[in-house]
Chains A and B, each alone.
Chain A
């Protein structure tokens, strides 16, 4: 994918029968395997479990095995490395379904890791290929690329690489933060800085010297951790790129598409659930959806979701076509999806009234997942600032 020739962009975003089939079968599968009642029982049986006692948020490992068997972990792995090499528009559609079900799983972090490793497949036989093959075979992975400041700049990292004294390979020190679904990952794609450049290394979760320290987070549908590297040895086979920042920057649009898609899916769930409530809940002898203070925000919410979705598929299509507009399109999509997520989250709680304020009501599960995603990889304002540089020029 690195050196794709720019192509003409297809009018239908390149969303064909294969993409539709994957999306529809994923929807059916998740409707069956993770209906919201099951999600609630799985992650929100007891409010004290995660929040007070600090237990790891629950997930369904058996379901993950099924997803692996369905081939979902290989979707973003190129065929040359043993994957399916599915188009980004198809992956976006799948992830929308995942968001619509607020599914706890390492799927997003694994797809994100594949996108980054894919950018490391340059030139000669690259060690990235073998790692991508393991992902396609079902190894869950996650990106360890963010420093303690929560910076989303591809050039920054809290991990320092040093040359292995008197030999090949590297030693890693420091820490990586806000690592998604780290508790579920077998492999971490780590961005490490050295004075001669920046490196991408694949580090197995059980490496000596690596400590995975879980963060205490709000979202009940994922986990997050800080990784502490205390002299972690990395062999040359694990060093997949010596131009890590550039690879990350190239993969960035695809990462933004993933989170934007999850946001679009969860926002649509919030919209439909709130609409259903507005059609059935009666006050003043009418369904509350009759009142325009309820009806109009729901119409506005739909408009925001549709804007974000249209921008999402445009961005995915730009990535698939190798267009140089991919960055602009992806930042627009993430910005619009974050805004839609924030608006739908807000209205979904408010328009449910008192019940919406309770633990018992499902809306909080999606509210928290959305809130997490709004910040992940940069919020709406962050991307607009980047877009201003692209569209208006730097200050």
Chain B
């Protein structure tokens, strides 16, 4: 919808993107695909998704708004169109989410020309998978409490420390890493690195098992691992500022020139379909007034998210430029959680069935999606932290720290 007001060039691109996606539908996946990129577990899933991202990048649907010198398309306002087209065509997700939504935009802002040319193309094409090494056992919401140490040694930095909850670490070639380079300042003692992971001596990636029983994220141990100074992003001691750039993109607060996207209207239809095939108190769940009301509540929130995205681009109808963008992580993650929870409720007794049970509705989607949804309400700054941020930055309430 809402595709009025495109430039002629953008309208052509939209047509091209839609046509390309229609003509180049990916082959069926070799195994069940995860719901989000941070849940990619097996090499089979990885290879399939990596190949798909590569094709999309080659076709000009990924990295469209990046400069050509770094593997982009050199356009303006194309990525959003490509994302809409991909969401509309229900294509597989783009696996290199950390590379696309965090590493590449941060490097574009803070990197040297050499760093941009070296790191961005592989992030866009998906050939080089990235992970994010921000969280530590003692540094979660209080992210500046980093204990991983980087000590300068000639042209290298020697890194020692323990990162946790590292999504995609098991497939990653690179990590965006914050480490402590000075113990004297909490914030100004941090530095940001583009650290090599795969095959690097002193780096151990160990899988952690999630609430769903699946693996997906990891802990990463650094024991005298060496990171060249050429892989330092921006100045020594500027790590906090650089990390803030990353977080801005990660939380969807800025429109990152990434790729992929999910449709909000679609989940409600899935709930309706589920209700029509489920029973409640001896009749169709779709005829139960309480269930109907709950589904409609979801439909309203889903449409609200869609229309927020539209209104955010109409300056005359937004009081504060960050007011809508800063809500998006909170809204999208809680919407997904509430939809999944409602799916569990509608499935009733059948919600007890694991995905391998042949009677599980929708191949066991709902309870797994519900449990998995906490990943998104916790990751990227918990939703409690998001409520702080909204209250402080938009409403001007006193800061918590």
Contacts and interface: CB of A to CB of B under 8 A. Distances in A.
Given A11-B313, A303-B330, A392-B272, A384 B296 contact: yes
A254 B323 CA distance: 27
Given A275-B395, A292-B388, A15 B317 contact: yes
Interface stretch (B40-48, B236-244, B297-305): B297-305
A299 interface: yes
Contacts, number: 153
A10 B391 contact: no
Interface string A219-243: 0000000000000000000000000
Contact of B391 (A295, A311, A332, A385): A295
Interface in A301-336: 302-303, 306-311, 313-314, 329, 332, 335-336
Nearest to B2: A11
A245 B61 CA distance: 51
A365 interface: no
A260 B307 CA distance: 15
Interface stretch (A47-55, A163-171, A282-290): A282-290
A279 interface: yes
A12 B318 CA distance: 12
Nearest to A89: B317
Interface string B290-322: 001101110111011101101101101100000
Report which residue of B275, B287, B292, B305 has the largest number of chain A beta carbons within 10 angstroms of its beta carbon. Answer: B292
Contacts of B253: none
Contacts of A296: 384, 387-388, 391
Nearest to A20: B316
A278 B365 CA distance: 43
B295 A392 contact: yes
A50 to B, nearest CB: 33
Contact of A287 (B286, B387, B398): B398
Which of B4, B286, B305, B395 has most chain A Cβ within 10 Å?
B395
Nearest to B389: A299
Contacts of B371: none
Nearest to A329: B303
Given A11-B313, A303-B330, A311 B307 contact: yes
A134 B387 CA distance: 50
A15 B316 contact: yes
B154 interface: no
Interface in A257-283: 271, 275, 278-279
B293 A388 contact: yes
Contacts of B275: 392
Interface string A370-388: 0000000000010011011
A9 B2 contact: yes
Interface in B361-389: 384, 386-388
A298 interface: yes
Given A9-B1, A299-B387, A310 B299 contact: no
B314 A12 contact: yes
B119 to A, nearest CB: 34
B7 interface: no
A13 B397 contact: no
A10 B304 contact: no
Interface string B1-24: 111110000000000000000000
B324 interface: yes
Contact of A11 (B5, B387, B397): B5
Contact of A385 (B289, B301, B398): B289
B394 A395 contact: no
A310 B396 contact: no
Given A13-B311, A292-B387, A393-B286, A298 B296 contact: no
Contact of A13 (B314, B330, B384, B390): B314
B83 to A, nearest CB: 15
A79 interface: no
Contacts of B398: 279, 286-287, 289-290
B296 A395 contact: no
B139 to A, nearest CB: 21
B230 to A, nearest CB: 42
Contacts of A329: 303
Nearest to A12: B314
A391 B387 contact: no
Given A286-B398, A332-B303, A391-B272, A10 B384 contact: no
A16 to B, nearest CB: 8
Nearest to B297: A384
Contact of A10 (B4, B387, B397): B4
A387 B296 contact: yes
Given A298-B397, A314-B303, A392-B275, A306 B293 contact: no
Interface string A38-79: 000000000000000000000000000000000000000000
With most chain A CB atoms within 10 A of its CB, the pick from B307, B387, B392 is: B307
Most buried by B among A8, A12, A19, A271: A12
A384 B293 contact: yes
A266 to B, nearest CB: 15
B311 A313 contact: yes
B331 interface: yes
Contacts of B314: 11-13, 15
B293 A10 contact: no
A391 B1 CA distance: 19
A300 interface: yes
Nearest to B287: A395
Contacts of B391: 289, 295-296, 298-299
B125 interface: no
- The 7 A-B pairs of least Cβ separation, nearest first, read A310-B307, A307-B304, A289-B397, A388-B292, A295-B391, A299-B390, A290-B398
Given A295-B397, A336-B304, A392-B275, 13 more contacts: A11-B310, A13-B317, A23-B316, A275-B396, A279-B397, A286-B398, A306-B304, A306-B327, A307-B305, A313-B311, A314-B303, A387-B299, A395-B292
19 contacts: A8-B4, A9-B2, A10-B4, A10-B5, A11-B4, A11-B310, A279-B397, A295-B392, A295-B400, A306-B311, A309-B311, A310-B304, A336-B300, A384-B293, A384-B296, A387-B300, A388-B289, A388-B295, A392-B295
Interface of B: 1-5, 268, 272, 275, 286-287, 289, 292-293, 295-297, 299-301, 303-305, 307-308, 310-311, 313-314, 316-317, 323-324, 327, 330-331, 384, 386-388, 390-392, 394-400
